[in-house]
Amino acid sequence: MSKIFFFLVGCIVISCKENPSTKTSSHAPGEEQLEVLDTLEIISKPPKKIFKTFDNLADTTFVRLADFSDGFSYDLRYATSNNFLKEQVYDCAECYTRVKTAKVLIAANNTFKEKGFRIKFFDCYRPNSVQYKMWKIVPNPQYVANPKKGSIHNKGGAVDITLETLDGEELDMGTDFDFFGKRAYHDMTELPKEILDNRILLKETMEKHGFWSVRTEWWHYNYGKASNEKVANFKWPCNEE
């Protein structure tokens, strides 16, 4: 009876030493014995971002463009001091437009993306209170629209843009944003062919989508169907991610 007891205890001890989560590969005498873990590697993927839609939104509603597409790039200069005013006039960097403008911007950007480029924003909708700030710094209608009348930026129908590759490399447009001189004019033809071709690509594509340009600023585009909207002073919150 005692022999049977010790035999059973020995079997239990041996079985406890085995690792049920591993398997041993068959091998010939003298070969190294390998342990193969019986596990499954799980590769996690970040959740796909869900964008808002324009369903049930009036064309005049102000919307944050980044909520509807992640296909754009941003360098919103007036939220910094890197602009011709040399002062920050926005509390935070956001790009808002009216719905009607946002729709055609997304359509235009899709056209650019087919050619390997995307829109980069310098400025979008501008509250009229900010227009007053700018006018106080530079009260010259040659550079800043008089806030009493307002600009199409204040109506949610104008954008200041350039183009960049899908890898984030800006196309050469000949001048920086807000360069006030003849080199920034659309009819300035004494420029390298690459620069002229880049400007033509920007201008012709935007015009096909209903925008019109300003002769003296290669970066400025107005959406025709939003040019008759009222001047607005909507202010966006600064706590959105």
Residue boundaries of the structural domains of the chain: 65-226
pLDDT of residue 36: 55
Which parts of the chain sit beneath pLDDT 70? 1-46, 240-241
Q: Are the CB atoms for 88 and 81 separated by under 8 Å?
A: yes
Angle at 196 (CA atoms; ends 191, 197), nearest 5 degrees? 150
Q: Taking the complete model, does pTM exceed 0.85, yes or no?
A: no
The C-alpha atoms of residue 101 and residue 108 are separated, in whole angstroms, by: 11
Whether domain 65-226 has CATH 3.30.1380.10: yes
pLDDT of residue 40: 52
The C-alpha atoms of residue 175 and residue 170 are separated, in whole angstroms, by: 12
SS (H, E, C) the chain: CHHHHHHHHHHHHHHHHCCCCEEECCCCCCCCCCEEECCCCCCCCCCCCCCCCCCCCCCCCEEEHHHCCCCCEECCHHHCCCCCCCCCCCCCCCCEEEHHHHHHHHHHHHHHHHCCEEEEEEECCCCHHHHHHHHHHCCCCCCCCCCCCCCHHHHCCEEEEEEEECCCCECCCCCCCCCCCHHHCCCCCCCCHHHHHHHHHHHHHHHHCCEEEECCEEEEEEEHHHCCCCCCCCCCCCCCC
Nearest to 86 by CA among 94, 78, 95, 76: 78
pLDDT of residue 30: 55
pLDDT of residue 239: 76
pLDDT of residue 125: 98
The C-alpha atoms of residue 211 and residue 219 are separated, in whole angstroms, by: 12
